[in-house]
Homo-oligomer: A and B are copies of this chain.
């Protein structure tokens, strides 16, 4: 790779512990820092509500609740190493449900492992199965989940929006990590995409922006990779997207992506349908996963006219 790039598309793991297991929040910052370091990332800051500790990481986000945790990492991190590290503290029999996701990367040859290798390692610790949502020639999410019977809470939804090709809208996030950079990034107003949340955000050097937001039991998080090659932004929330049909539109609008995925979990096996003005739904995949209906929708924007080719440095 002669061209400078950052791998924005994330790996994600979420696990829920069985009833009666001690609070995951009580593990403390130091233990969580060790788990994050196992993935080759670092904790930058922490925002807490009465229900959740949201850690902003050098590569994305860690959310810790009493009974469940979500770790999202990007770049060249090794997320499965962090799961192995966590399972030294949390015995596998205390895991009620675990799911690992990997979005197909922009630069897969630069990754230390592929999804199948990650999933096989996890399956040696926790019996599970793997699924691909989306076509192997296009955008896709690969997912590993445990097989233990599990019933999600009636309010337990997750919405992810993964946006590719945001170079047109990435200028405010191309700062150098200084205070001006943070002010420019904040001017986009991502912290208000759902009102009333406390916000913790960070502008990275040489570029990039991350934001965690909390309101009681609810979170949302943005991560922006503004580099021309591999430009990308992601959003995730546990606010009930079924009650806010305009939410995806509000998330997508500031980034004007060439293409984006919506990946959603809803209890009771409910599948998501969605139309987004200005975009064509190219892929729509749904499957039941441990009591959730999981839906993958890939949207792409029709070409507005011909553009030029992109030079590739050979130096």
Interface residues of A (CB under 8 A from B): 1-3, 106-109, 111, 114-116, 119-120, 123, 128-133, 135-139, 142-143, 164-165, 229-230, 232, 258-259, 271, 273, 280-287, 294-297, 300-303, 305-314
With A138-B138, A230-B137, A314-B120 known to touch, is A281 a contact of B309 (CB < 8 Å)? no
For the complex of A and B, the 9 pairs showing the least CB-CB separation, nearest first, are A287-B309, A137-B164, A130-B312, A131-B309, A284-B303, A132-B310, A284-B306, A282-B300, A286-B306
Expressed in whole angstroms, the minimum distance between the Cβ of A280 and any Cβ of chain B is 5
Whether the pair A138, B314 counts as a contact (CB closer than 8 A) is no
What B residues does A296 contact at CB under 8 A?
Answer: 309
Whether the pair A314, B259 counts as a contact (CB closer than 8 A) is no
Whether the pair A165, B135 counts as a contact (CB closer than 8 A) is yes
Whether the pair A1, B116 counts as a contact (CB closer than 8 A) is yes
| Copies of the polypeptide in the assembly | 2
What B residues does A258 contact at CB under 8 A?
Answer: 135, 137-138, 282-283
Distance in angstroms between the alpha carbons of A309 and B133 in the assembled complex: 5
Chain B, Cβ-Cβ closest to A8: B137
Cβ contact of A136, chosen from B106, B114, B302, cutoff 8 A: B106
What B residues does A139 contact at CB under 8 A?
Answer: 137-138
Chosen A-B contacts, 8 in total, with CB atoms closer than 8 Å, are A109-B114, A137-B230, A138-B165, A273-B306, A280-B282, A281-B302, A282-B282, A284-B307
Other A-B pairs, 16, CB within 8 Å; known A130-B311, A284-B307: A1-B116, A107-B136, A116-B312, A128-B314, A130-B314, A132-B309, A132-B312, A133-B309, A137-B258, A138-B165, A138-B259, A138-B300, A143-B309, A280-B282, A281-B302, A296-B309
